[in-house]
Amino acid sequence: MLVTRVRPNLMPLPDVIEIMPLQSPVSAVVTVPGSKSITNRALILGALSGGWATLRGALWSEDTQVMTAALRQLGFEITLAPDERELCNRTLRIRGLGGNIPNGGTAEKPLELFVGNAGTAARFLAALVCLGRGVFRLHGAERMHQRPQAALFGALRALGYRVESANDRLPADITGAGPRAGACRVDIGESSQFASALLLCAAAGRWQVQLAGESAEEGPYIAMTRQLIAAFPAGGGEFRIEPDASSASYFCAANWLMQSPTRVAVAAFPDSDWQIDAAFPRFLPLPARISRRSQLGDSIMTAIVMAPFGGGPTEFTDLARLRVQECERVAALRSELTKCGVRVMEQGDELTVFPGGGAMHGAEIETYNDHRMAMCFAIVGLKIAGIRIKNPSCVKKTFPNFFQKLGGRGPAGLGAGIVEARTARPLREEELFAD
């Protein structure tokens, strides 16, 4: 499926935008960019491969751009080409060096790698640079400096690498010593990315990695990592990255929320079992009892904001990891839904959302610089008047053209009206790109 390529806006999105409810039925087939989780894993595997690896359908957004920039600083050659199917994808070619890392710094002048607020980049690169020689300083955005790293750093130290950090968070100085046989144990309680980072580099590093924590071996993101390692062409070759199931969840939710005769479909919806969020459509209609631990990943946030439109109370369990991601997502979801007139009960790491979509009202939504908060509540705005999204440009983290999909002309977009909230000026499609 070819898509219309809309030239990105040269000016940033306004600070606050308002989503106008859809007034007539829509029939749309929307493409979504490639999976962030798969793209950043594939970039690491490509760097460790034994030749040129071609990644087709790779996401090109803030999180994958910081990963690509860091790999280039480490000395890896990477080329980019447009993707004719999706504006925010690229065909990436990376020259793997069989486990060698060309560049490194010194104790006096470490090689600095900026990871933004990308958890995958921060954790995966921390393990990768151990295979190099020299000193590497990882640092990122303020929120990334608050996110946990201790379990990963502890595992790397157990393998014999030097990791210096004031509080076992970023910024951190890591001294690479090349591959060295060893064993470590890592607890995935706070993030499965710790385990994925070690597993991606284990073969090149000659590491034995033992996982700890509830259902550690069966965790969906760990399973994804193992499947990717098995499927990736280790000697170089082509690898296709499937569309992002978490991003697809917003349009599945729009289809359910607006109901027939509106029809919103996602082109090439992921049909593998690699992404846990490919299960999202099965949880509609609500209510239900949904666990983030075993049933949904990031798309549980989409389900939470759809819950007021269900037929009864919906319980969401095992939400602890949402608290240590791009923002404290449990508190953020409760706060912003409450602003809109929704009754939400928080108890421990569980939320119960009560029905009441008919009584919901507009509000100015604080996004906490969290791309998923912005996208979740934008879908609510298709139904509820007066939903205003602060800092909409934060979607650039994983889905820079999200608002173009929402406001663009059919059949590739939903055709929703999107206006500058302060002036009510309608925004043109080319103004809706988050850059």
Catalytic sites, residue numbers = 298
Instruction: Round to whole Å and give the CA distance between 390 and 374.
Output: 8
- The answer to whether the beta carbons of residues 353 and 330 sit under 8 Å apart is no
DSSP state of 389: E
H-helix or E-strand spanning residue 365: strand 363-365
Rounded to a whole number of angstroms, the CA Rg of the chain reads 21
What backbone phi and psi angles, to 5 degrees, belong to 213?
A: 115, 160
- The answer to whether the beta carbons of residues 95 and 52 sit under 8 Å apart is yes
**Angle 80-86-90 (CA atoms, 0-180°, nearest 5)?**
15
In the numeric block, which tokens belong to residue 108? 């006096």
Instruction: Round to whole Å and give the CA distance between 274 and 336.
Output: 31
Outline where DSSP puts E strands in 128-258: 133-139, 162-164, 172-177, 182-187, 207-212, 237-240
DSSP result, 63-79: HHHHHHHHHHHTT--EE
- The answer to whether the beta carbons of residues 286 and 308 sit under 8 Å apart is no
In three-state secondary structure terms, 321 is helix
Instruction: Round to whole Å and give the CA distance between 245 and 199.
Output: 23
In three-state secondary structure terms, 11 is coil
Instruction: Round to whole Å and give the CA distance between 49 and 309.
Output: 48
